Amino acid sequence: MPPRLIDSLTTTAPLAEIFSDESVLQALLDFEAALARAEARAGIIPQAAADAIVSAANAAAFDTAPMAAEFLRAGTPGIPVVKALTAKVRAADEHAARFVHWGATSQDVADTALVLLLKRSHPILSADLARLENALAALSEKHRESVMLGRTLLQAAPPVTFGLKVAGWLAAIRRSRARFDSACAEALVLQFGGASATLAALGDKGIEVGSAIAQDLRLADPDAPWHAHRDRLAALVVSCGVLTGCLGKMARDLALLMQGEVAEAAEPVGDGRGGSSTMPQKRNPIGSAVALAAANRVPGLVASFLAGMPQEHERGVGGWQAEWSTISGVIQATGAALASMAEAAEGLDVNPTQMRENIAAANGTVFAERVAMLLAPTLGRDRAHEMLQEAARRSELQQRKLGDVLAENPEVTQLIDSATLRDLETPESYLGVAEKFRQRLLASSGAQKEDK
C-alpha cells in the first residue's frame, strides 16, 4: 500500500504495507493462532477449539477502524484484539471461545507482534542494502583513478580519488549492516510469559508451549520472558541509528558535490525526481534530502527508546507502550533513507572532468603541503610552513599558480628544481596510498580482495 501523505517522506511503500493496520492486526492474530496450535498439541486446550481460533485469526475479517480508539482506552493492543477475536470465535463455536488467549498476557501479544513486523521488515531493508552496496562497489572501481579535491572543514585540500571516497561510504555502510543484521537476529525472539513472566497458568507445560510457539512463528525461543528487559530491541534501534547516520554522511557529501559551483556529481533525474516547482533548470539532491531527513529524525527516536528502557519490576508502565510508534518510525525512516540512497547511487552521474577543473582552479595552492614537506628537512617545519602560507596568499590574491610564485623565491629554487615545480599541480603524483586504502576498504567490506 502507498504511505499516507503525511508519511510519504518517511517510509517506503513496502514498509508502509508492513506497518499498515491490517498487517499489524494480522501479526497480533498470528500470535494468538500459534498459541492455540501449541496449546492443543500440548493437550492444554481441545484441538477443535484451536482449529476455531486459527480459522478466526484472519485480519481481513475484522474492522480495524474502531480498534485504534480501543487500543488507547485499554493501554495495549492486546486486550481489544483478544476481545474481538473471542467474539469472532464465539460466533462460530461458543465452547472454543473460552480458550482464546489461554495463559498469555496482553504484552505477550503486543511484543511478539512487534517482533514479527520487524522480521518481515528485515528482508526489505536487506534488499536495499544489497542494491546500495553493489552500486557503490561498482562506482568505486569505475572511479578509482578519478582525481578530485579533498575537502577539509569544507575547504580545498590535497587531492583524493572519487573511488576512495565511495569506498569509505561503502565500508561504513557494510560495517553498519553487520551490526544491524546481528541486532536484528538477536531481537527476533518470542515474548511469552503470562501474567508475571512465570507461565504459572500453564503449570509445568509453559516451556513446552513457548518452544512450540517460537517454532511455529519461526522466532528464537529465549531463555525466559523479557517483558521489562528491552536491551535486544534497544540494540536494534541503535544499529538503525548508526546505519542512518552513515547514509546521512553519504547524502551530505553528495548534496555538497551537487552544488552548482562544484558540479562534480549529480543524482539521477526523471519521473518527477529532482525538479523544482519554480526553477526548471534545477537538479535537486532529492535522495540525499530524504536520507538527511531520516538522519535528522532517527537520533531523537533512538534517544526516546533508550529513555524508556528503565522499566518497573516484571512489567513496566509507559515504557513499552511508547515503543510501537518509536520502532516503527525508526525502521521506516531507515528504510526510506536506504531506498533513496540506493536509487541515487545506481543512477549517479559523476563528472571527472569537472573534478579535475576544480583542482586546477585552486592554482596549485592545495599542493602547498607537498612543497612544505620538500623544504622542511632543510629549512625546518616552521619556516617551510610560514613560507608556503605567504606564497599561497600571493597565489590567491594575484590569481597566479603557486608554482610560478614559488619559482620567484631563491630560497625555494635552491632546494627544489624547476621540473618538480612544474609538476607541482599533477594530482596523480600526490595521492600517496589512496589506491591501497581504497582496496583495503573494499576488501574489508567484502567487495573485493586487496591486491598484494
* CATH of residue 33: 1.10.275.10
Same domain? 254 vs 164: yes
- Residue 250: inside a domain: yes
| Domain-embedded: residue 8 | yes
Same domain, 290 and 300: yes
Catalytic residue among 4, 182, 218, 276: 276
User: The CATH number of the domain where 412 resides is what?
Assistant: 1.10.40.30
Q: Are residues 232 and 165 in the same domain?
A: yes
Active site residue 315: yes
Return d(Cα 80, Cα 258) in angstroms, integer: 51
Query: Residue 218: inside a domain, yes or no?
Result: no
Q: Are the beta carbons of 13 and 3 closer than 8 angstroms?
A: yes
Q: In terms of domains, do 94 and 115 share one?
A: no
Count of domains forming the chain: 3
What pTM value is reported for the model? 0.92
From first to last of its 452 residues, what are the pLDDT tens digits of the chain?
Answer: 777 777 778 889 999 999 999 999 999 999 999 999 999 999 999 999 999 999 999 999 998 888 888 888 888 888 999 999 999 999 999 999 999 999 999 999 999 999 999 999 999 999 999 999 999 999 999 999 999 999 999 999 999 999 999 999 999 999 999 999 999 999 999 999 999 999 999 999 999 999 999 999 999 999 999 999 999 999 999 999 999 999 999 999 999 999 999 999 999 986 656 555 554 555 788 999 999 999 999 999 999 999 999 999 988 888 888 889 999 999 999 999 999 999 999 999 999 999 999 999 999 999 999 999 999 999 899 999 999 999 999 999 999 999 999 999 998 888 988 888 888 889 999 999 999 999 999 998 654 444 43
* 198 domain residue, yes or no: no
Shared domain check, 408 and 292: no
Claim to verify: residue 131 and residue 163 sit in the same structural domain: yes
194 within a domain of the structure (yes/no)? no
Residue 275 lies in a domain: yes
403 found inside a domain: yes
Q: Are residues 247 and 297 in the same domain?
A: yes
Paired sense of beta strands 155-161 and 147-152, if any: antiparallel
Asked if residue 150 and residue 93 are part of one domain, the reply reads no
Residues 96 and 232 in one domain: no
CA-CA distance, 65 to 21, in Å (whole number)? 9
Q: Which of 179, 213, 247 is a domain's end point?
A: 213
Residue 96 and residue 243 in one domain: no
Domain extent for 394: 365-424
Of the residues 177, 230, 232, 315, only one is catalytic, namely 315
With respect to residue 360, please indicate whether it lies within any of the assigned structural domains. no
**Which phi and psi angles does 155 have, rounded to 5°?**
-110, 150
Q: Look at the alpha carbons of 71, 77, 79, 84 in this order and tell me if their dihedral is positive or negative.
A: positive
- CA-to-CA separations, 235 to 19, 184, 293, in angstroms, rounded: 20, 8, 22
pLDDT of residue 449: 42
The answer to whether residue 395 is catalytic is no
